[in-house]
Structure 1
Amino acid sequence: MRIDIMTLFPDAIEAMMGQSIIGRARDRGFIRLYTHQIREYTTNKQMQVDDYPYGGGRGAVMQADPLYRCWEHVCGEVGERPYTIYMSPCGRTFTQEVAKELKAAHENILLVCGHYEGVDQRFIDECVDEELSMGDFVLTGGEIPAMAVADCLFRMEEGVLPEESCYTDESHWNGLLEYPQYSRPEQWHGRKVPAILLSGNHGGVDDWRRKESYKRTMARRPDLWARFDQSAIKTKHDKKILQQAKDEFAAQQENEE
């Protein structure tokens, strides 16, 4: 998979994305990540990329022309028009399901990072395929959202993580939150690791993890739980685990009241 990022701060993205798992995967050729400095595509000595908004108001708007020149250059490098996403609080919310959709549908993705009061709508109308938001809040620029999207997509690419379960067992993949995790020592500040995790009973561990995933989702994200398709749980054993989770969650709620 190839992801290009149009930005005013390529060094910031390179510093972050060049580290750890994503950085190693890039060095080994499992993924391709390229950053593009929008200022290099201006036509003035000041390398100006913004100007006052028509109609008045505070701040500045990124101009369509340098964005378009940069976008054209990326299209030429990729060899085709990449699926172009503008990181914007006005877009649809980015979720794991959206990530799966993008990963399945597009081999080449271009992420556009806005700044100031946003970008000229004409560039969006002509070049952008979709706008994505990280949630109901506003940041000073699109770099953090773009890195989040790139990281989420890249970690699903073959070779980036040791095996597929490294991301399919995590929060949101199946519509649930992940179960609690523990490591050494067995006891810390008087808090013990759940005995089942020390038992060597792999089936019991799997059941415990599934049950805790249900309970955590019910407690922390009732909106996710409401959308979770319980009818997909077919076997008697799995239904039993689900019922145990519901009973334990209900008992916990009663104790807290």
Structure 2
Amino acid sequence: MKIDVLTLFPEMFDGVFGASILGKAREKGIVSLEAINFRAYSTNKHNTVDDYPYGGGGGMVLKPEPVFAAVEALKHEEGFRPRVILMCPQGEPFTQRKAEELASERHLVLICGHYEGYDERIREHLVTEELSIGDYVLTGGELPAMVVIDSVVRLLPGVLGNESSAVTDSYSTGLLEHPHYTRPAEFRGWPVPDALISGHHGNIEAWRREQSLLRTLRRRPDLLETAELTDKEKKWLDAMKRETAEKSPDS
């Protein structure tokens, strides 16, 4: 996979692209990561990339010319249209499902804005979609782009040491992930659940599934509305909901 980031601050990505999982994936040749300063595509003598908004108002707006030119240069290199994503608080909420979808692409281009916003023609005529990592505003799209890249790259084959890790992560199954334990078997009087040290794979998987359902019920019950559940699991969750309601001080 090839991922290009168009940004005014490419130095922000140096540490992120060179460390941990992303750095290893890059070294293995699984992914190509590059941060490109789209100021280099400005054609005016001062290399400006922003201007005052028509109609007045505070802040500066990113001009269309350098952004279009940067994306078109990348498209020309590849010979086909990459998926062009605008990092924007107005965009579609980024989810694990979206990460899985993007992980199947050959080439992603992420555009990081700054200042007040983008010239609307960038949205209408250049990008394929807009993504947001949450209902809040940051100073630029660089941090959201890092989040998207990290979540996508870790899904690529060969990136993680254990291929099943990405499959069982929170949200990958539609539920929150089950609790984890490691050695020692007992710490300060707190033991590891018996099922995990039983050596019985069926019991272990059953315990993990139950804990995943329970954690989702307690922390993100909204996820259960779309999760794929068996009839037995639905009945068990209904029983847990009744039990929780009975224990509530207000009940």
Match of 1:146?
145
Aligned length: 249
Change (3 A) 1:25 1:137: same
SS of structure 2 residue aligned to 1:35: strand
Q: Alignment identity in percent?
A: 44
CA distance in 2, matches of 1:46, 1:189: 64
Change (3 A) 1:200 1:245: farther
Residue 90 of structure 1 aligns with an amino acid whose one-letter code is Q
RMSD over aligned CA atoms reads: 1.9
TM-score where L is the length of structure 2? 0.91
Alignment of 1:172-191 (within 5 A): 172-191=171-190
SS of structure 2 residue aligned to 1:211: helix
Q: In the TM superposition, what whole-angstrom CA distance separates every residue of 1:34-79 from its partner, at most 9, and x where no partner exists? A: 2111111122454321111111111111111111121122222333
CA distance in 2, matches of 1:218, 1:99: 24
Q: In the TM superposition, what whole-angstrom CA distance separates every residue of 1:180-234 from its partner, at most 9, and x where no partner exists? A: 112223333443322222222221111000000011111111111122232xx3x
Match of 1:88?
88
Change (3 A) 1:241 1:126: closer
Residue 117 of structure 1 aligns with an amino acid whose one-letter code is E
* Deviating more after overlay: 150-159 vs 204-213: 150-159
Q: Given the alignment of the two structures, is residue 196 of structure 1 paired with residue 228 of structure 2, yes or no? A: no
Alignment of 1:54-65 (within 5 A): 54-65=54-65
Q: Shift of the alpha carbon at 1:22?
A: 1.4
CA distance in 2, matches of 1:127, 1:188: 56
Change (3 A) 1:188 1:163: closer
Change (3 A) 1:253 1:67: same
Match of 2:204?
205
Contact preservation (8 Å) 1:51, 1:63: yes
Contact preservation (8 Å) 1:212, 1:245: no
* Deviating more after overlay: 89-98 vs 180-189: 180-189
Alignment of 1:150-165 (within 5 A): 150-165=149-164
Contact preservation (8 Å) 1:210, 1:241: no
CA distance in 1, matches of 2:24, 2:210: 35
Structure 1 gap ranges (5+): 234-238
Contact preservation (8 Å) 1:207, 1:241: no
SS of structure 1 residue aligned to 2:115: coil
TM-score where L is the length of structure 1? 0.89
CA distance in 1, matches of 2:228, 2:233: 15
Match of 1:236?
none
CA distance in 2, matches of 1:13, 1:80: 26
CA distance in 1, matches of 2:232, 2:69: 59
Match of 2:130?
131
Residue 94 of structure 1 aligns with an amino acid whose one-letter code is F
SS of structure 2 residue aligned to 1:57: coil
Q: Given the alignment of the two structures, is residue 254 of structure 1 paired with residue 228 of structure 2, yes or no? A: no
CA distance in 2, matches of 1:197, 1:212: 12
